[in-house]
C-alpha cells in the first residue's frame, strides 16, 4: 500500500469521472508543478474539530470539556471555544443515540474494489435493532463554504465499502450515510441497501480498470473540477477551459447577435446547464482577468491590453484619534453614527451560557423567544436535491371578482 492514496475517497468525484486527471496529477507532482495542498487556518480548524470529536467519541467526553483547550494542527494553533463545542455536540449526540462503541477515525482498506487504496473514515458502526442490522457511516465536515449533500455521496460510499470489509463483510439490511456539516446544512442522511453499495463497488472496479489500462478521458464537471489542482495552475486545465469557453461563447454570441450558435437553440435544458455552471464560469473569468493583469504588470501584456494605475480608494484619516477629537469639538454627539445593536452571532457569543461561560441565561431565554427568520428567496438546485420542489405561485387576485 502506498502512503498517499491516488484514488482517495475525498477525490472520488474527480477521479471517477475525469479519469485522465489521475495520470496528469501524478506527472505534475513529479515535475514539481503542483505540491501537496497547503493547509490553511480553516483546514486546521477542521482538523481540530475532528480531533475533539474523536476524543469525545472514544473517551465518553463532551465537546464542552475541551472549551479553552489549545490544540495545534497543521502549523496553526486553535483555542476550542463554546461555538465549536456547540456545533459538534448534536452530531456526537446522534452517534450516541445509535451506538456506545463506534469505530472512530478508522483507516479503511478498499483494495477489494480499488487495489492499493485506502481512506480514513470518521465514524462507522454496526447496529442490531429488533431484526434489522444497519451499517452507519458518519462523516464530519466542519467547513461552512460549500454545503455537501449526503444523497449521492461517493466519498461516504467508499468509506462504507471499507468499513463493511473491516467488519468482516456482515449481512446488513440497510446502510445509513450521514454527513454532519454543522455550519452548512446540519445533519444530512442517505439510506441505501447493501446491493446498491456493492453495485457502486463494481462501478469503482470498472473505473479502476480504465485508469490502470490508460483508457481514460478528461471530463470536466462542477463537482469533479472543484478541488482539482490542475485548474489552479497558470493557464488552468485545457479540457476545462474548452468546456467553459464553449458554454460562455455560446451565450455571448447569442447575446451579441441574437442568433443561435450553429443553429443551436438555447433550450430550457441548455439554459439550466449554463445556469448550473455559472459559478464555475464566473470563477474562471475572474482567473483569466487575474492572469491577464499579472502578465501586463510583469511587462508582457496580452496583445491589446495594458495595466494602468487604478482609481483612488476610499478616503480615510491617517490619524483617527486626532480626527475624532476635532470632530467631537466641532459636532459633539453628532460626530458619531447612531448606535446599532450587535449581530445575533455576536449576541450568542456574549449572552448564551456555556459550560465555562456564565453568559446571561435569563436574557438568552427571553431573546430566543424574539428570534425569527424570514423565508429565504427561492433558489435553483438540481432536480434530485433533497428539498421538495416549490409549486407554482398562485395569483393572489384570482379569487377576486
Ligand atoms: S480541472 Fe477538471 S477536467 Fe481538468 S483535469 Fe481536473 S477534473 Fe479533469
pLDDT of amino acid 182: 93
* CA of residue 108 relative to chain centroid, distance: 23
Whether residues 184 and 240 fall in one domain: no
What pLDDT does residue 5 have?
Answer: 65
Measured between alpha carbons, how far is residue 41 from residues 51, 79, 112 in Å?
Answer: 15, 12, 36
Give the start-end residues of each E strand in 274-383.
Answer: none
Residue 369 is assigned to a structural domain of this protein: no
- Residue from 15, 16, 229, 230 whose mutation best tests the ligand 1 pocket (most atoms within 8 A of CB): 230
Task: Please tell me whether residues 96 and 241 are part of one structural domain.
Answer: no
Query: Which residue's CA is the nearest one to ligand 1's atom 2?
Result: 225
Instruction: Look at residues 81, 84, 227, 241 and name the one whose alpha carbon lies nearest to residue 146.
Output: 227
Q: Are residues 72 and 190 in the same domain?
A: yes
Residue where a domain terminates, one of 246, 274, 297: 297
Shortest CA distance to 236 belongs to which of 280, 281, 284?
Answer: 284
160 pLDDT higher than 50: yes
For ligand 1, whether the C-beta of 19 sits within 6 Å is no
- 116 located within any domain: yes
> Which atom of ligand 1 sits closest to the CA of residue 239?
3
Cα–Cα distance measured from residue 219 to residue 44, given in angstroms and rounded to the nearest whole number: 31
Q: What is the pLDDT of residues 73-117, one digit of tens each?
A: 888 899 999 889 999 999 999 999 999 899 999 999 999 999 999
Our answer on whether the CB atom of 87 is closer than 6 Å to any ligand 1 atom is no
Are 255 and 117 part of one and the same domain?
no
Average pLDDT for 159-178 = 97
CA of 9 to the centre of ligand 1 (A): 17
- pLDDT tens, position by position, 204-217: 999 999 999 999 99
Instruction: Tell me which residue range forms the domain holding 258.
Output: 234-297
- Tell me if 228 CB under 6 Å of ligand 1: yes
Q: Are residues 209 and 238 in the same domain?
A: no
Residue 224, ligand 1, Cβ within 6 A: yes
Q: What is the pLDDT of residue 309?
A: 84
Q: What percent of the chain has pLDDT over 70?
A: 92
Query: How many structural domains are present in the chain?
Result: 2
**Which stretches within 143-237 are classed as H helix?**
154-166, 194-213, 222-226
Question: pLDDT at residue 3 above 50?
Answer: no
Amino acid at each position: 500500500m502506498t502512503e498517499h492514496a491516488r484514488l482517495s475517497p475525498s477525490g472520488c468525484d474527480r477521479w471517477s469521472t475525469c479519469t485522465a486527471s489521475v495520470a496528469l496529477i501524478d506527472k505534475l507532482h513529479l515535475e514539481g508543478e503542483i505540491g501537496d495542498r497547503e493547509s490553511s487556518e480553516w483546514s486546521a480548524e477542521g482538523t481540530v474539530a475532528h480531533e475533539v470529536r474523536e476524543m469525545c467519541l472514544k473517551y465518553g467526553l463532551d465537546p464542552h470539556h475541551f472549551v479553552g483547550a489549545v490544540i495545534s494542527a497543521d502549523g496553526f494553533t486553535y483555542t476550542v471555544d463554546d461555538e465549536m463545542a456547540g456545533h459538534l455536540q448534536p452530531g456526537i449526540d446522534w452517534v450516541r443515540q445509535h451506538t456506545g462503541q463506534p469505530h472512530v477515525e478508522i483507516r479503511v482498506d478498499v483494495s477489494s474494489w480499488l487495489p492499493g487504496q485506502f481512506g480514513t473514515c470518521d465514524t462507522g458502526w454496526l447496529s442490531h435493532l429488533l431484526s434489522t442490522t444497519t451499517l452507519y457511516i458518519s462523516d464530519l465536515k466542519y467547513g461552512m463554504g460549500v454545503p455537501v449533500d449526503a444523497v449521492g455521496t461517493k466519498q461516504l460510499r467508499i468509506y462504507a465499502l471499507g468499513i463493511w470489509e473491516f467488519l468482516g463483510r456482515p449481512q446488513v439490511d440497510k446502510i445509513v450515510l450521514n454527513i454532519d456539516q454543522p455550519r452548512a446544512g446540519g445533519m444530512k442522511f442517505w439510506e441505501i441497501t447493501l446491493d446498491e453499495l456493492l453495485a457502486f463497488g463494481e462501478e469503482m472496479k470498472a473505473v479502476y480498470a480504465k485508469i490502470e489500462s490508460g483508457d481514460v478521458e478528461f471530463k470536466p464537471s462542477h463537482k469533479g473540477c472543484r478541488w482539482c489542482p490542475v485548474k489552479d495552475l497558470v493557464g488552468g486545465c485545457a479540457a476545462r477551459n474548452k468546456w467553459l469557453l464553449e458554454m460562455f461563447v455560446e451565450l455571448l454570441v447569442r447575446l451579441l447577435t441574437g442568433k443561435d450558435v450553429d443553429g443551436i437553440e438555447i433550450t430550457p435544458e441548455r439554459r439550466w446547464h449554463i445556469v448550473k455552471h455559472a459559478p464555475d464560469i464566473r470563477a474562471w473569468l475572474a482567473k483569466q482577468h487575474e492572469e491577464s493583469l499579472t502578465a501586463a504588470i510583469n511587462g508582457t501584456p496580452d496583445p491589446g491590453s495594458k495595466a494602468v494605475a487604478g482609481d483612488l480608494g476610499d478616503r480615510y484619516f491617517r490619524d483617527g484619534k486626532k480626527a475624532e477629537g476635532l470632530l467631537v469639538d466641532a459636532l459633539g454627539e453628532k460626530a458619531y453614527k447612531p448606535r446599532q445593536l450587535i449581530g445575533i452571532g455576536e449576541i450568542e457569543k456574549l449572552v448564551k451560557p456555556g459550560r465555562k461561560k456564565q453568559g446571561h441565561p435569563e436574557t438568552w431565554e427571553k431573546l430566543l423567544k424574539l428570534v425569527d427568520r424570514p423565508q429565504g428567496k427561492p433558489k435553483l438546485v438540481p432536480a434530485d436535491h433533497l428539498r421538495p420542489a416549490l409549486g407554482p405561485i398562485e395569483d393572489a387576485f384570482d379569487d377576486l371578482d
